Structure formats: structure tokens, C-alpha cells
A and B are shown apart, each in its own frame.
Chain A
Amino acid sequence: MELSGGEILIQFLKDEGVEYVFGYPGGSVLHIYDALYGQDELKHILVRHEQAATHAADGYARATGKPGVVLVTSGPGATNAVTGIATAFMDSIPMVVITGQVPTPVIGSDAFQEVDAIGITRPCVKHNFLVKDISKLADTLKKAFHIASSGRPGPVVVDIPKDVTDPMVKIPYSYPKTVEMRSYNPVTKGHGIQLKRAADLILSAKRPMIYSGGGVVLSNAAAELRDFTRLLGYPITQTLMGLGAYPASDKQNVGMLGMHGTYEANMAMHECDVLIAIGARFDDRVTGKLAEFCPTARIVHIDIDPASISKNVKVDVPIVGDVKLVLTELNKLLTESSSKPDETAKTKWWAQIDEWRGKRCLEYDRQTDVIKPQFVIETLSRLTGDVDTYVTSDVGQHQMWAAQYYDFDEPRRWINSGGLGTMGFGLPSAMGVQLAYPDATVACVTGEGSIQMCIQEMSTCKQYGLPIKIINLNNRYLGMVRQWQEFTYEERYSMSYMEALPDFQKLTEAYGHVGMKIEKRSDVEGALKEALALKDRLVFLDFITDRTENVYPMVEAGKAHHEMRMPADRELA
């Protein structure tokens, strides 16, 4: 079969099993868009801004585990995509981004819409390729998908100059089924001796703590993690990226840890004697002050990326490997082992944890008629608990409340930008999720600041009939900034509020969707029920919430886990 470069790209994506391409056409990719025309096997979603294309592909990838695919033009197409690429990179999300490039003879001449896409994206991709020769196109694409989705996943950019996709130049094409790279062979199986050492240390614990992260979700190891945790009967805390891998509603779950973690999770981290880190990377928002991080713990760390091990925190038993394979091996060792966890110590430890739980750190004012943001999330969680629901979020206070008050019982249901903290992520990522699961309920929890960073995507939602439920926690403040300014800048609220907010209800209606404005606590449940019942419509719920509510508990930057600011501290002050 003789195909042009553009046709090779489209045929390859079909052969690779790609369902959706999120993109935006432009000069350098016109040959590719022409090759896309008149077929419906590979579906193209036309976004309104290239940043949204990357976020939508990212949301699709997080929800399905399959790599998201993006197609954008050269120059501004590529630069607009960078935020979404960096977002995926920080959270290790598999993604292949195809950027058009000016024709090879004019590369380097400051041609129209030319940027060095390879140079610009280099620090925020797992790898990138410039394809200068049509004969290398198919193999390079195969490598890109392989690299993006194996080992520690991540985004891969493939930059294709326009002449490489010239419809007049055709070469024979066959789908490259295999890929071989001498320089890239990620280790997936844990080292036997290390596994044995880990099992011994885990079983010797008196005050154990399991700390699991996004790696468990990425490696599809939720079942193995559940077996592991239940087998031992140890407490488990999950990072922002790991929520759902272990059911939130299970009694062994002590909630999220870190800057806005629960009192019990952070205290247990501080007091534990053996820490079992699984697919988590000791991010600064998780560890707090490094010098006082888990001061009495010996640490086991399971991670597929050797560079994540002992990067921020020195560990005692490192295991490099795929979490799923390592946990499978470890579960076998633990079951077969003659020693068992110390039940007396465990009972004592759980009694201590229950005492910490008694602090009820997520309590908030339930009497007031003002809409508390926590109440909105709790109600959403209750109303959607028994249906297949995905929650995406933007970045800020609403993100933390969603993480704290929504009970995620399954992996891949909680979709947010953890590492990069990208405002604008919520709505476009929800589009990717909704396309992957057309029948599922997809809620985007956002705020009036974040939503405006990609609000134009309501137009894309209209074009493709995506019935997303946008939960806007509108406090008329850039809430997280305002909170930090209250705590550490003596209430100097520099640029943390916006004047001239749009009427979101009318704006939504202008885009052809349903808008609702909710101002009373007593209307929250009814509005949510009404919106959820509108199965085939996008509904924007503008909740006018308490202006100055804060996210608690809070371990401020530079503080240790046990130095949490609690809600009561504010009332006392």
C-alpha cells in the first residue's frame, strides 16, 4: 500500500487503535487534515484552543489508561499545547502530541508560524522526535506510542514538517507491529532480594503506614493494593493523585495526606515506624518540611522510575518495578511468610489513629444558610455515589474540597492536575472523559477563576453534545491565593479577587447549554438532582458560596506534618 505522509499518519493511528484525536487545524498540518477528511473510523474532536486539546486528550488518558492523542499546527499551535503537555508530564500521563512544522527546507529561517517545538517541549516531555524523512514516519510514531505508554508514562511529541506529509510523495506503508530500542528498556519486575527485605520490614512494623500514589492508578494496580492493604490490616493514606485506588469509604483508609491532608493521615505519617510508599514520589506538597518528614520511619519505596527513589527522601528498601507486578509478588511473599503482623501493636496503633480521627478535622459549619463549598461536594458525592461518575477538577480550593469531601471508591474516577497545578484543566479534561464514557456522569468541579481559563470549550461541548455537569464553586475570590494571603500576608489581598465576573448562567445559555444559579443552601440538593437528571445536556451550576471559607487542615509550606492549622485555630484567632 503506497501512502503519503499524511495518509501514513492517519492509517497508523487507526492501526494503533486510536479512537479520538483532539486537535485544531492550521497551515502546517493541512495535508494531514486532508488525509483525515471523509473517513469516520478515527474521530477528530475540534477544540477551541490547543491547550484544551492536550487537556482533553489527558482526561481521556487518565480515565481509560490509553494514550491520549493530539494534533496541532506549528508555531502557536505548538506553544498553546505546551501547558497541557507539561501538565501530562508532571502527572506521568501517556500522550502523543503531533505538531506540524514548517517544511524542512525552511526550518531555521524564522518562517511563518515556525517555532522550535522540539526545543520548547524538551524539558516537559518524556521524549520528542523531529521526523525529517517520510520513510521514518511510521517507525517513529510506533516508538512514540511505546515510550508514552510504557515504563513511567508521559507525553511524547512528534514534530512533522509539512513536506513530510506532502500528498504527492507516497511510499509503501505497513504497520510496524513491534518496536525495539536498545536505549529504552524500563525495568518492570522487582528485585527478588529487595522484595524479601521489604516483606520482612513490613511484617516487623509496630506503627505501619501505607502511602500510595498515582503510580498505583497508572499501573492499574488497585486490586493488588486492596489485597495488600487488607492482608496486612494496616492504615492507608493516599496522595491527591492516588485517590480512588483504595476505596475512600473503607475503614482502613485514613484519607489524603500532605498540605491539605487529614489530621489522622498526617499524624500517622509523623508517628509511623515503617512507611510503605507505593507509586508515590514524595512531592513537597506531600512531605512538608523534609527534615521532619516521618522522623521515626524506615521506608520501603516501590516505583517504576529509579530517579524517583531517594530523590527527596532517602529510603531504606527501594524496589524498582511496575507497582502491579511488585505488589503481586509482595502479596505472595506476605501470604506465604511464617511471620504475621504484630496484632497487639496493630490494635494499639489503630486506637491511636481512632483518637486522631476523633478530632473530626473535616467538620465545617452545617447550620449556616450560606452555601458552604464542602456541602456542595458532599451532596454531589452522596447523589452520585451509586452511579458511574467521573469527577474532574481545576486547581485551587475547590480542587482540595473535591479531594477531601468526595468519596472516590474506584481508580481513574478522580481527574485533576496534581503536579503542575494547571488552572483551566477541568472542563477540557472532562470532555475527554465524557467522550471515552458517553453514558457516565462527568462532573467538573471548578471555581470562577479556573473555569474562565478554558471556558471557550463550552462551545466544543455543544458541537459534540457532551453533557458535562460543571460545578462552579463561586466565591468571587481566587480562593487559594486569598487563603494564603490571609495566613501569611496579613490579609493583604493582592489581586486575589476579580471584578466584573460574567453572569455565568447567561453565558452558558449563550453557548446553548443550561445555566443555573444557586444562592441558598436549601437549594443545593434540588439543583444538583435537577442537573444530574438532564442526562443529555451540559449544565453549568453556579453555586454562590461562602466568600472566605478556607481549606483545612493545612500544613503550611515549610512546616512538618504534625504542625497543622485546624479550623478551630481560625475561630480562636
Chain B
Amino acid sequence: MTRHIISILMENESGALSRVAGLFSARGYNIESLTVAPTEDSSLSRMTIVTTGSDEIIEQIKKQLNKLIDVVKLIDLTEAGHIERELALIKLRADNANDRDELKRLSDIFRGHIVDVTPESYVVELTGTGGKIDGFLEALGDRCVIEVVRSGTSGIGRGDRSLDL
């Protein structure tokens, strides 16, 4: 079982997302995260899917995705050099001076930004790999975390490796 990041360019049609989501549920494939948004070309959407499976399963996933009529192009980012990023917004309980100082320090260490401050709470914005965000959450422990929202992974190939028409 290995983790793969699959990026696809799809026709920006209504229902395109449900075709992909439906494919994964109908065929019982794992799906760790899925993100989708329009690209610089408004007729296309770009979707990033993080999935795990054996080599055979991953091969099938790619073939089945390619078979969807709306899919224009697909790459498996994890096959070569790539950058992956996830955005997290984390609301923390910060209602005393000690906690406030410690949370600020921890956030700095992970290169997070505090983007909302109230007398009771902080919201930290953190970008990085999924692993880095996991690390930050682990360092926080669960005592002060009120809410976590993660964007799911986006990715792009390094150098001249790109997904375009």
C-alpha cells in the first residue's frame, strides 16, 4: 500500500466532481483527500486526489479516471519530483497569558501565522505537507484545539514536469 497524489485536468462541467467521487465509492477505492478548483483556463478544473493502494489498484484507479469522458489529462505526481502543500486553519483556546505565549512560540516554530485574535482564542494559518500539519497538531496536543479545518493536499510537479494541454 503506497500513497499517491493524482492530479487531473477535467472539463469544467457540472457533475464532474460527482463522477470522480462516485467512481471511488463504487469501486471501493480509498480516498484520503480531494480538492478541486478552476484553473487559469476557465473551461478546465484541476483536481488533486490523494489515495492509497497496491500498485495494481493505483494502476486501475488511473485507468478508470482516464476513462471518464470529462477527464482531459492525468498525472501521478508521486511518480517523480513534486511539491505538495496543504493549508490548515486551526482555532486554539488562548485565554491566559501562559498559553498565549506558548501557542505563539509553537506557531512561529512551524512557520504558522496567527490570523485572528480574540481574548479567548487564536486562529493559526499553517501551510505545508500533510505531515507537517500532523506534526503541529501533535505538538499542540488536544488540550487547546477548538477546531481544525484542512484543505486537503494540492500538488505540482517540479521543474519542467507539468500538467497542461
Contacts and interface: CB of A to CB of B under 8 A. Distances in A.
B69 A183 contact: yes
Contact of A122 (B22, B63, B64): B22
Contacts of A122: 15, 18-19, 22
A310 B59 contact: yes
B160 interface: no
A469 interface: no
B67 A183 contact: no
B105 to A, nearest CB: 50
Contact of A183 (B15, B26, B60, B72): B72
A132 to B, nearest CB: 9
B18 A119 contact: yes
A122 B24 CA distance: 13
Interface string A277-308: 00000000000000000000000000001110
Contacts of A184: 69
A184 B71 CA distance: 8
A464 to B, nearest CB: 35
Nearest to B72: A183
Tell which of A118, A127, A305, A307 has the most Cβ of chain B within 10 Å: A307
B165 interface: yes
B70 interface: yes
A311 interface: yes
A182 interface: yes
B69 A127 contact: yes
A183 B71 contact: yes
Contact of B60 (A130, A147, A307): A307
A192 interface: no
A123 B26 contact: yes
Interface in A429-482: none
B56 interface: yes
Contacts of A147: 69
Nearest to B61: A307
Interface string B63-78: 1101101111000000
Contacts of B98: none
A370 B10 CA distance: 61
Interface residues of B, number: 20
A183 B70 contact: yes
Interface string B12-25: 00110011001000
B56 to A, nearest CB: 7
B28 to A, nearest CB: 13
B11 interface: yes
Interface residues of A, number: 18
Interface string A300-344: 000001110011001000000000000000000000000000000
A144 B25 CA distance: 25
Contacts of A182: 72, 165
Contacts of B72: 182-183
A127 B10 CA distance: 14
Contacts of B69: 126-127, 147, 181, 183-184
Contacts of B18: 119, 122
Contact of A123 (B11, B15, B22, B70): B22
A16 to B, nearest CB: 19
Contacts of B165: 182
B26 A307 contact: no
A172 to B, nearest CB: 24
Interface in A170-225: 181-184
B75 to A, nearest CB: 15
A126 B19 CA distance: 11
Contacts of A311: 60
Contacts of B11: 183
Nearest to A311: B60
B63 A307 contact: yes
A305 B66 CA distance: 11
A181 to B, nearest CB: 8
Contacts of B15: 118, 122, 130
Interface in B106-147: none
Contacts of B63: 306-307
Contacts of A314: 56
Nearest to A119: B18
Contacts of A310: 56, 59
Contacts of A305: 67
A123 B20 CA distance: 10
A532 to B, nearest CB: 44
Interface string B87-98: 000000000000
Contacts of A127: 69
A505 B104 CA distance: 87
A140 to B, nearest CB: 11
B108 to A, nearest CB: 46
Contact of B14 (A130, A181, A306, A307): A130
Contacts of A118: 15
A307 B67 contact: yes
19 contacts: A122-B15, A122-B18, A122-B19, A122-B22, A123-B22, A123-B26, A126-B69, A127-B69, A130-B14, A130-B15, A147-B69, A182-B165, A183-B11, A183-B69, A183-B71, A184-B69, A305-B67, A306-B63, A306-B67
Given A122-B15, A183-B11, A307-B63, 18 more contacts: A118-B15, A119-B18, A122-B18, A122-B19, A122-B22, A126-B69, A181-B69, A183-B10, A183-B71, A183-B72, A184-B69, A305-B67, A306-B66, A306-B67, A307-B67, A310-B56, A310-B59, A314-B56
Interface of B: 10-11, 14-15, 18-19, 22, 26, 56, 59-60, 63-64, 66-67, 69-72, 165
For the complex of A and B, the 9 pairs showing the least CB-CB separation, nearest first, are: A307-B63, A127-B69, A183-B72, A306-B63, A123-B26, A184-B69, A307-B67, A307-B64, A122-B22
